[in-house]
Each structure stands twice: as C-alpha cells, then as structure tokens.
Structure 1
Amino acid sequence: MQNMQTIIDKINDLKKMKNAVILAHNYERGEIQDIADFTGDSLGLSQQAVQQDADIIVFCGVHFMAESAAILSPQKTVLLPEIHAGCPMASMVTAEALRAEKKKYPEAAVVCYVNSTAEVKAESDICCTSANAVEVVNSLEEEEILFVPDKNLADYVAQNSTKKIIPWEGYCPTHNQILASDIVRVREKYPDAEVLAHPECRRDVLDISDRIFSTTGMLDYAKKSTTEEFIIATEKGILHRLEKENPEKKFYYASEFAICPEMKAIDLNALLLSLEKMQHIISVPEDVRVKAKYTLDRMLAIKRSR
C-alpha cells in the first residue's frame, strides 16, 4: 500500500506530464479538494476548465458535472475517476419522461437545474443554478415554468416569483433529510451562530434559516461576514473549505447525516488510477451536446446582459 504522500507526488507528476487540470467540487473529500487545481460548484468548475490550457480535465465530482465539462470543452478529454459516482436527483428525471411531461404543458418553458444529465438539458429551454434559479425564471417571457428535477428548489423559486411553477417530483436525498428540528437543535447549542442553508433543503428548513445560498454563496458570505459562528445546512464536505479559508471562525453541521456517498466515492487512489489509465472518459454525443450547450449558453447570457 502506497503512503499518501507517494500517491500525491505521483498524481502531481502525472498531471504535469499529461497536461491535466484537476477540478474538485466543494463536497468532495478534503484530500481531493487539497490536491485540486480548482475547487468550486459544478458549473463554475466547468467554466473554469474552458479557460485552462489543458488537454485533460479530471473532474472530481459526479457524472453530470463531468458531462457539463464535456459539453463546454468538447476538444478536451474529460475523466471521471469513479464511474459509479452519480447523482440520485439527476437520476430522478429522464429525457423520455420529460418529453412526456412537456406534452401536458405545451405553453410552459422548461427550466432545468444544472444537476441533471446532458440528455435532460438537451430537452430543456434554459438551465439554472441554485444561485440564479430565481433570476433565470423571472427573466423568461412564459408565465408557466416546468422546473426539473428538484422540487425543493422549484418551491424556493415559487416563493420568489409570480410565475406558475410546475415542479418535478425529484429531490436531493442529502439535503432533503436535513430537518427543521435539526436546525432548532443545533441553534440551541450555538445561539450566536448564523444559519446558512442551501435552497435544495426543504421549505421548513429554509423558513427558519438566516440566509439561503448556493455553495459558492456560502463561501463568499462566510469570508465577508463579521459573524464568527455558522450553522451550515448543506453537504458536510463544504466545511473543509470553509474552515480552511476562515480559520478564525467556527462552523457547525446542521446534520451529521448530511453526507453524499456519491461525492465521497473518489479518493486519492481513484484519482491516481484515473490519470494512470486515462479512466473513465466522459463524452456526450454531438447532437445532444449542441442542444445542451444552448441551454447553458442561454443562462450565461442573462448574467452577461446585467
């Protein structure tokens, strides 16, 4: 068994030799975040990859994230170190099921959360992130919105829009199991702490939280805020980066069970094997890629026009 430093050295040597860039989501294991060239949220990392003069993108995340990188950087080889690292929420909607649902609501625009497959993106009108979902929905001319696949994010959008939101019955199991009672319990223990919640959480959790942010929003706010203690209602992996970037502040889990096993599937051994054996290559058929890219480009155009 190789020791950790030997594995790290081999990864760094292979990365240079093969002109690769390593991306890690904010929910990944701490050692994966530490060795990555960039950490962030799923779309931000894919955008970062576009700007890199690299031949290979090693995406330490889940399948749909690697697909997004492949959509935006088709000329680069995209590797997912653990092929079975999926997203349960993304699996709750298929292109076929979405096509059937679209027929029921012919006047509705389909807004697709980036946490979805390339095929589902290709069947949608525009993508959104957890940070810009409200802005994207409110920018559309249509008054009816079919929102896939996260019913909790759809509900959050409905609270902040006059549009009729038709939610898909999907959800993130990790966020969905964070309960309002968890917030109450941890808040009693740390009464001076501010509660930051992800909009994938249930409405009753969001209702009693102090602020609602995407992972990037949480990281930015924690840096700028004068508050010294925070209760974090999202996947536990983000605490590694929060603590690293804010050593003088205290961060507490809203729930010790907020762990995504898919996000923890990649370890240093898997990352090393990925670079050694060039596994596992993630590609998107060109016809699907073009349609999916349109939905991402349309979303990004809203940001540019502001």
Structure 2
Amino acid sequence: MLKPEWKEKGYIDEPVSKDVDLKTEIRRMCEEKKAVILAHYYTHGEIQDVADFIGDSLALARKAAETDARIIVMCGVHFMAETCKILSPEKLVLAPDLNAGCSLADSCRAEDLKRYKEEHPGYKVVSYVNTTAAVKALTDVVVTSGNAKKIVDTFPKDEKIIFGPDHNLGSYINEVTGRDMLLWNGGCHVHERFSVAEILKLKTLHPGAKVLAHPECKGPVLAVADVVGSTAVLLKYAVESSDSEFIVATEAGILHEMTRRCPDKTFLPVPPEIGEGGVGCSCNECDYMKMNTLLKIYNTLKYEWPSVDVDPDVAREAVKPIERMLELS
C-alpha cells in the first residue's frame, strides 16, 4: 500500500533486507510483470547493466513502442517518460522518481512558447526532443541532436523558424545550415559547464586523444572538437575509430557504455569549469539522471508507481511533431 509520504516525495524509499539482491529481484519482477526497463546513457552504470535497453531519449521511446511489454520503466528524466507515454498510450509508464526533471526542458514552459509564437506569426517551431509534452504540442516538428540538421534542411531556405529550447544546439545548426533561426535561450546545466580551457589541459596531457563533444556544448567547445554529435554518434565513432584515447565533452554516464564496448580504449571525461570565486561545479554529471537508483526501480516495479500520464488532448497534439520527425528522418 502506498504511503502518503511516498506520494509527497514522488518516489518510494522503502528499504529492503540486506539479503535481497536488487538486480536479481528487478529482473525477476520484469519477467513476472511483463515489464521492460529503459535506461538512458546518462544514468548510473549499474542501472544500465540491469536494463533491457539503453540509449538516448527518442531511441528508448521508440523501443518502448515496439515492445509488447505491459509496463515500461523509464530510467531517465520526466520528459522521457512523457514521450514513452505519448508513443505507447496503452502501456503503464513508470518513473522511479518523479523529481527527475530536466534543466533544458524546464527552460521552456509551454505558456512562454505560446506567447512567443503569438509575437512571431508565420514562424514554424522546431523543438528539441528534450521538451515537455505541452511544448511538443505547440511544435511543428521535433528533432534530436542527431537529426536536427537533416530536418531543418527540409525547410525552404526562406522559412521563418523558431528553434528551441537549446540555444547551443540551435547555434550549431544555424552554423552548419547557414540559417538564421530565432533561438530560444535555454540550455543544459551539464553541457553549459564544459570549457575550452579544461579540454586544452587534457589535450596537453593526452596530445593524441580525439575530442568528442555533444552539440549542447557552447560554440568554443565545439570549435576545438574533432567530432560533434549526439550520444549515439559519439559512441559509434568511439567504437569504430582506430584511435585509442578520447576526451569526452558530454555527460559522464556515457563513459560506462563506451568502456563496456571498447575495454581496450581510454575515455577521459571533461571536468566542469571552475566557477566564480574559484569554486568548481560539483561534477560533470546530471543530478536528475542520477536520481534513478536500483532501490527506486525495485520499489516502482513492486508497487507499479509512480506512473506518468499525459493529458489525452495534449498527447494527441504532441504526437504529431514526433510523427513528422519520423517521416523526415
């Protein structure tokens, strides 16, 4: 039975006996309840190890829609669970911790985007997949970091476009497409931390290392990168490259899968930039992604809560730009 304090917290923290092996019990319940666990590359390594599928946000949502599972446990952040529900409305979508939000998605509220659209009539809206369902419902087409250039290129050269919410990704797409899209001023709190200075320090120590950077990083960081791409693109390059050392400018969770796939190669996470007053950021990890734990997964499967739902009217509109993206990519 769910306790009131659990509902207030947004997750279940009921302890288990020390004799309980969480990974074994999680896999047992998945089989018993016909559930699948989806884990983003940025979650803890032990969560990636217990998952049925790991990947980036949209790939996981598409995988969820393809499976015949009754329950989807989305180990990532809230908007990812929403996307799973939009694409799989008939399934029970669980999130181990409802507090696992996203600084990028939070930087663009639906009411603010609606007002901005009204101030710019005639503009198409291209939204990054890292947005809430309500924002997707106001969008013409959704993009990922991997297909954004391809999809933006499908618009006529004189098309007026609002791109959001990630300003860095939008700036990068403007640069590689020659566009002049209006950019929403949003950003990821992790990717905003990386700096050229920290990368150059690592390059001094590892002169042969290739620099891999996610396009959510700032322009100067992308300028010194050897490869710019989505998590999937960076992982693919690392696997297929003959190089043996890599400096990685994205959330450090991806290093778990990179190391698993390439045990003979070295992956160096870029440390966060030193902040004002000489105080450094705590880490180069997403605090929200790390809210997912094995205990929370165990409890969410046991109680089949917390679940994530999307208003049917919002979902009906939000699925359209996703479907449009799939048609164009």
Shorter-chain TM band: over 0.9
* TM-score computed with the length of structure 2 as normaliser: 0.90
What is residue 292 of structure 1 aligned with on the other side?
318
Question: Given residue 30 of structure 2, which amino acid in structure 1 is its aligned partner?
Answer: K
CA distance in 1, matches of 2:321, 2:171: 21
Superposed CA offset, 1:63-122 (max 9, x none) = 000000000001111000011000011011111100110122212110000000000000
Q: Which moved more, 1:185-194 or 1:249-258?
A: 249-258
> What stretches of structure 1 of length at least 5 have no aligned partner?
none
> What stretches of structure 2 of length at least 5 have no aligned partner?
1-15, 273-282
Superposed CA offset, 1:155-207 (max 9, x none) = 00110123221110100010001011111111111111000000000000000
Residues 1:133 and 2:163 are matched in the alignment:
no
Q: CA RMSD in A?
A: 1.2
What is residue 302 of structure 1 aligned with on the other side?
328
CA distance in 2, matches of 1:235, 1:58: 21
Give the alignment partner of residue 91 of structure 2, picking from 69, 73, 76. 76
CA distance in 2, matches of 1:248, 1:7: 30
What is residue 199 of structure 1 aligned with on the other side?
215
Deviation of the 1:4 alpha carbon = 8.4
What is residue 67 of structure 1 aligned with on the other side?
82
Deviation of the 1:145 alpha carbon = 1.2
For the residue of structure 1 that corresponds to 2:72, the secondary structure is: strand
For the residue of structure 2 that corresponds to 1:251, the secondary structure is: strand
Superposed CA offset, 1:115-143 (max 9, x none) = 00000000011000011111111112362
Q: Which moved more, 1:20-29 or 1:154-163?
A: 154-163
Contact 1:149–1:168 (8 Å) recurs in 2: yes
Deviation of the 1:254 alpha carbon = 1.3
Residues 1:145 and 2:161 are matched in the alignment:
yes
Superposed CA offset, 1:45-73 (max 9, x none) = 00011111100000000000000000000
What is residue 106 of structure 1 aligned with on the other side?
121
What is residue 69 of structure 2 aligned with on the other side?
54
What is residue 155 of structure 1 aligned with on the other side?
171
What is residue 219 of structure 1 aligned with on the other side?
235
Residues 1:177 and 2:203 are matched in the alignment:
no
Give the alignment partner of residue 86 of structure 1, picking from 92, 101, 114. 101
Contact 1:143–1:163 (8 Å) recurs in 2: no
Give the alignment partner of residue 112 of structure 2, picking from 91, 94, 97. 97
Matches within 5 A, 1:4-19: 6-19=21-34
What is residue 180 of structure 2 aligned with on the other side?
164
Question: Given residue 233 of structure 1, which amino acid in structure 2 is its aligned partner?
Answer: A
Contact 1:145–1:163 (8 Å) recurs in 2: no
User: What stretches of structure 1 move > 4 A for 4+ residues in a row?
Assistant: none
Superposed CA offset, 1:261-305 (max 9, x none) = 0010011000001101111100111111111110000001012xx
What is residue 308 of structure 2 aligned with on the other side?
282
Residues 1:45 and 2:60 are matched in the alignment:
yes
Deviation of the 1:2 alpha carbon = 3.6
Question: Given residue 319 of structure 2, which amino acid in structure 1 is its aligned partner?
Answer: K
CA distance in 2, matches of 1:170, 1:118: 17
How many equivalent residue pairs?
303
Deviation of the 1:3 alpha carbon = 4.3
Deviation of the 1:5 alpha carbon = 6.4
CA distance in 2, matches of 1:203, 1:2: 49
CA distance in 2, matches of 1:260, 1:163: 31
